[in-house]
Structure 1
Amino acid sequence: MSNLPPLSALHTFIEVGKSGSMKRAAELLCVSPGAVSQQIKALEDRMRVRLFERAHRELHLSDAGRSLFEQLSRAFEEIHHAWENTHAPTSRITKLTISTTASFANSWLAPRIGGFTKQWPNIEINIETSPRLIDLRRDFVDVAIRHGLGDYPQHAVTKLWTPAMVPVCSPGLLGSGPAVLEPVDCLQYPLLQDADRADWALWLRAQGIENASARRGSSFCDDALLIKAAVAGQGIALVSDVHASAEIANGRLVRLLRTPWPTNFAYYLVTNEDRSEEWKIAAFRKWMLEQVAMAENAEDARTDTPNASMSENDSELSSIASTPSVI
């Protein structure tokens, strides 16, 4: 006779661990909260350890529970994806969860994602924009799009493009002040800063300019807010045209100089190494690379015009970690 607990009890434990709530897990499993509680208690009695600690109406995994969760979640995920890959990809709706930053989702991904769902109507997209570090195994995220160095051990990493930053401001602000002909001329205006107050200093240093004023000015935690401040005429923002392209196209922002500074960071598509060729992930990766190539070709076609923009870029640094599972 097997000493293993029932598979249903282990599945219940995984759902409670993911949601941090017996009630939410019960709703997902279509059972009563009491049934979930009994399953967890039976599992704890059998293992003779406490799997959860209660705090502020939520359940948190104990040390023993976390160890069990990390091992079981991988096993259940493998079962789930083995079923998906065995089952015909076109025969049912499947979900694809993408983690990225709010700025990238708003300015680049959201306007284009309809093209992917048109190609793959059986793939239901879920875009998460939390800035926190994520664990691709525990958080059940299929794909992460990150702006970093590409150093993600034990993950499959595909480089999308290398970003560069450009200074932009409102036409009204530029029309009421001195001309901006060289990078140093930007210092004659208020500088709108990123959250770390690093981008302007680095960009000016790349142009051979060291100035204490490079770190002064209002700072914003998100590129979308930075762009809104620039549109409002509050100063010059150092952003990418992937975020400001719409505002540049409609004339609410103007690009000031043709002296971009490519950063040391790039955009990467990151997945679990053992899932990188799963059909829905492979389909999304192929589509992303096609979209990047199309955007770059469109930029190349515009480079001969006076108001041409630079290639697809981003000045936002997302959360980066080099641990095996957290990115």
Structure 2
Amino acid sequence: MRLPSLTHLRCFESAARHQSFTAAGEELGLTQSAVSKKVKELEADLGFDLFQRSGRGVVLTPAGQGLAADLELDLAGLRATLQKAAAAGAGRSALRIAVLPAFANLWLIPRLPDFFARHPEVELSFSTRLEPFDFARENFDLSVHYGLDNWPGTHMAPLFGEEMVPVCAPGFYAAHRLELAGNLAQAPLLHLDSRAGSWAEWFDRAGLAGAPRQDGRYFDQHSMVIAAAAAGLGAAIVPYDMVAREIAAGDLLRIPGPELVSRKRYYLVRPHGPVPEAVQKLERWLKKQLRSRPD
């Protein structure tokens, strides 16, 4: 069949994502009626409805849902292809990397100035992925994954494990006299939603009597928990590698006690096959960063 125009596809993808022609128009710099017209033209080309129109609202049809899901990946792949072409035209290489938000924000991005200073010929772009995916389908060069060594069809290089440690701001440490770990039982605690049992496990490992307080503040991202700890809102139990620089700088203090060690690790993942030179450069740089990890 004849391929629809890219403009029609972009209008549909935006409208599908927003479930609104008006919001799609605002994103694309078009009027609501222009988006609606282009979607109708796309439907005419395809021969089936993509949206059900109900009053002033629109809802994707089952066929529209399937097309929207596939098209989101296709357009992302097309953007990556164009980025690589633009980089090649400037005599550089471009890598597309799937990352976990906490790893990117707290560990990787603060170190990237060193990478770019050493390798100005390599461009990097990042997208969030929380679960394993098909490299051939999603057109990534690398991924940073947290879990077990069980991603089929890939090469997984371990970066580091996860040692959870309790930390807090210096003022909070002094105010609650946390040089005595037992005082944590009365101190406000910060919690990560996905690891709500971490403090209970730490109390048990530390041999502290009683259960930790459950009335503290809860967050759904490590970055927010760490920011809250640095602001003095409570004590947090977080991955050591995500706060090593803050501990070294004295912005956070480590509370005495054991580490919680997980079976899971952070991995650098790539598909099997030839390894492009730009990927090799990034892998070598990452290994150097790991060798210089603060104790």
Give the total of aligned pairs: 285
Q: How far is 1:262 from its partner?
A: 1.3
Counterpart in 1 of 2:191?
193
SS in 1 for 2:146: strand
Counterpart in 1 of 2:108?
109
The one-letter code of the counterpart of 1:175 is A
Counterpart in 2 of 1:217?
216
The one-letter code of the counterpart of 1:224 is S
Q: Aligned partners of 1:56 and 1:209: how far apart in 2?
A: 61
* Structure with the higher fraction of residues in helix conformation: 2
The one-letter code of the counterpart of 1:195 is D
CA offsets, 1:171-224, max 9 Å, x none?
Answer: 33433444646x656435333222242221233344566743264433233333
Q: How far is 1:244 from its partner?
A: 2.0
Q: Aligned partners of 1:244 and 1:57: how far apart in 2?
A: 49
Contact 1:170 1:232 in 2 (8 A): yes
Question: 1:290/1:113 Cα in 2 relative to 1: closer, same or farther (>3 Å)?
Answer: same
Counterpart in 1 of 2:50?
51
Q: Aligned partners of 1:118 and 1:103: how far apart in 2?
A: 23
Counterpart in 1 of 2:89?
91
Q: Aligned partners of 1:17 and 1:132: how far apart in 2?
A: 26
SS in 1 for 2:212: helix
Whether 1:295 and 2:289 are equivalent positions in the alignment is yes
Contact 2:96 2:141 in 1 (8 A): yes
Unaligned runs of 5+ in 1: 303-308, 310-327
Q: How far is 1:108 from its partner?
A: 1.4
Counterpart in 1 of 2:10?
15
RMSD: 4.6
The one-letter code of the counterpart of 1:199 is S
Moved more, 87-96 or 243-252: 87-96
Counterpart in 2 of 1:230?
229
Contact 1:17 1:61 in 2 (8 A): no
Contact 1:12 1:25 in 2 (8 A): no
Q: How far is 1:78 from its partner?
A: 7.4
Counterpart in 2 of 1:100?
99
Q: How does 1:151-162 map to 2 (within 5 A)?
A: 151-152=150-151, 157-162=156-161
Q: How far is 1:110 from its partner?
A: 1.5
Q: Aligned partners of 2:14 and 2:165: how far apart in 1?
A: 42
Unaligned runs of 5+ in 2: 16-20
Question: 1:56/1:168 Cα in 2 relative to 1: closer, same or farther (>3 Å)?
Answer: farther
Question: Larger relative CO (CA 8 A, sep 6+): 1 or 2?
Answer: 1
Contact 2:77 2:139 in 1 (8 A): no
CA offsets, 1:47-98, max 9 Å, x none?
Answer: 321124468988765322343455667777778878888x797434676454
TM-score (norm 2): 0.68
Contact 1:90 1:122 in 2 (8 A): no
Contact 1:17 1:60 in 2 (8 A): no
Q: Aligned partners of 1:143 and 1:57: how far apart in 2?
A: 43
Q: Aligned partners of 2:88 and 2:200: how far apart in 1?
A: 51
Counterpart in 2 of 1:325?
none
SS in 2 for 1:263: strand
Q: Aligned partners of 2:214 and 2:131: how far apart in 1?
A: 27
Identity, % of aligned pairs? 27
Counterpart in 2 of 1:254?
253
Q: How far is 1:278 from its partner?
A: 7.5
Q: Aligned partners of 2:105 and 2:203: how far apart in 1?
A: 28
Q: Aligned partners of 1:145 and 1:128: how far apart in 2?
A: 11
